[in-house]
Amino acid sequence: MSDILFKLNKPITLKEGTGVTLTNNGITGTQVIDGTNDSIVRVSIGQDVATGSNVQFNDVTLAPNTMTIGTGNTQLIISDGAIDGDLHFGQNLLITENLSVIGPFTYRGNFTSSTFTFDSSSVSTTLNTGSTIFGDNINTDKQFFSSSMEITGSYKLNNYLQDITEISNDTTAVDEKTTSLVTEYVAYQFLQNRKPDRDYLRKSFVHTGSFVNSTTTRFSVVTASAPSNLTSTTENDFMFFVNGMLMENDALTIQQNSNNLDLTIDSDSLGYTFSSNDEVIGFGKFDS
């Protein structure tokens, strides 16, 4: 009686693949099973893959706490909670859920997002190359801001020895700080407060007097009023000429009478008096 119980009309064929070896009774390669003999086919992959085995896939090495990919300077080491080395993706990397990073996170490339939200109490940025270096070169490194900027600390401008600590809107400028910049509003208001002084100091007009008597000439004009912080207007703010000759101020007295300014001379000191034919010119702090 034959030992063959049944024979397959269409035998089962097992073929080797990449990394897989087939062995039957010492014969390796493609195995055909049709039932004509005992067929015990061993399938092996070249290394032990038990849970405690040291499995290696070419340049991928697994250790108890790390996985090393590559060799030399191009290796990437993945350990518990850390990645040491450069990680490159041939295509876009899409993360559909939250990504939590514990510890330092270094990203070498363009980082683009429609919204950046930082819950940390402080954020620091290090910019190392090109025109992104703040203050490295005043001619070539330029930063542009299209919105507002708030600085809670101090900053230095053009290597100034002291930090700028504030932009002041105090129109009195009484602090006289060397670390404050003023606004346009402060400059305008402060200079406006100085306007009366400036206008008074710039007043300089010429008028011709009319004969009153031998010691008095009258000018139909008022004198300029000095601001409260300046000395009141006196004869020393004028020069008076009679027939082209300068009159000595020590021998003169001026008196404002309504809209007229009267010039009175000490004839004994001067040695002469006015006559109706004299031309007396006044030059100085007239109001107009």
Does the residue 239 lie in any domain? Answer: yes
Q: What pLDDT, on a 0 to 100 scale, did the predictor assign at position 1? A: 47
Q: How far apart are CA 40 and CA 59, in angstroms?
A: 33
* Spans of the chain, pLDDT less than 50: 1, 130-132
Contact 77/84 with Cβ under 8 angstroms?
A: yes
- At a CB cut-off of 8 Å and minimum separation 6, what does 245 contact? none
Q: What pLDDT, on a 0 to 100 scale, did the predictor assign at position 121? A: 63
According to DSSP, the residues that pair with 119 across neighbouring strands are none
Same domain, 219 and 259: yes
DSSP for residue 225: P
Does the residue 231 lie in any domain? Answer: yes
Q: What pLDDT, on a 0 to 100 scale, did the predictor assign at position 131? A: 45
Q: What pLDDT, on a 0 to 100 scale, did the predictor assign at position 208? A: 96
Select from 70, 97, 124 the last residue of a domain. 70
Does the residue 179 lie in any domain? Answer: yes
Same domain, 180 and 244: no
Q: How far apart are CA 255 and CA 232, in angstroms?
A: 13
Same domain, 1 and 64: yes
Does the residue 46 lie in any domain? Answer: yes
Nearest in space to 257 (alpha carbons), one of 224, 226, 228, 220: 220
Neighbours of 261 (CB within 10 A): 22
Residue 214: how many CA atoms within 13 Å on its side-chain side? 7
Contact 260/218 with Cβ under 8 angstroms?
A: yes
Select from 32, 51, 70 the last residue of a domain. 70
Same domain, 36 and 10: yes
Same domain, 179 and 229: no
Q: How far apart are CA 270 and CA 250, in angstroms?
A: 10
DSSP for residue 232: P
Q: What pLDDT, on a 0 to 100 scale, did the predictor assign at position 130? A: 45
Number of domains present in the structure of the chain:
3
Select from 133, 158, 193 the last residue of a domain. 193
Q: Look up the domain containing 178 and give its range.
A: 166-193
Does the residue 25 lie in any domain? Answer: yes
